Amino acid sequence: MTMKFTFVSPTNLTIEFSGKASLSPSDVENLIKQLALFRKDMKPETPRTLPDGEHSDFPIDPIWTVIPQPLSQSVLMGIRHDGLGWLLSLIPKEQAQKLGNALLAGSQSLGQPFSQNPSRH
């Protein structure tokens, strides 16, 4: 099966494919990655704050990893999602420290949620 992706505009992506699609897990992962590459450039952008009510489909106690990146003064954080694979983020040292503090504070209380400033970028 061949697929052709055409980024028509920031609000439109066209996908053409020929024939019947039988996808292996690896094929599905590659398709998700390709779609994500297009989605990051589309408008409107993904919301910068977690939308209300969208908290039902998430991994419980996910596998995670943190890999220091000394040259960039940051850490590579990965969280494994059963359906999406590894979600990776390169987090600057200062933000990593804030995230660590927020995780500690959040694990010790049931108070208000902590978020990175969504207007930072």
- Answer whether 18's CB lies under 8 Å from 2's CB: yes
How do beta strands 64-69 and 74-81 pair?
A: antiparallel
Q: Which residues contact 40 (CB under 8 A, 6 or more apart)?
A: 46
Q: Give the model confidence (pLDDT) of 49-96 as tens digits.
A: 888 876 777 888 999 999 999 999 999 999 999 988 899 999 999 999
Tell me the domain boundaries of the chain: 3-39, 64-108
Whether residue 29 is predicted with pLDDT greater than 70 in this model: the reply is yes
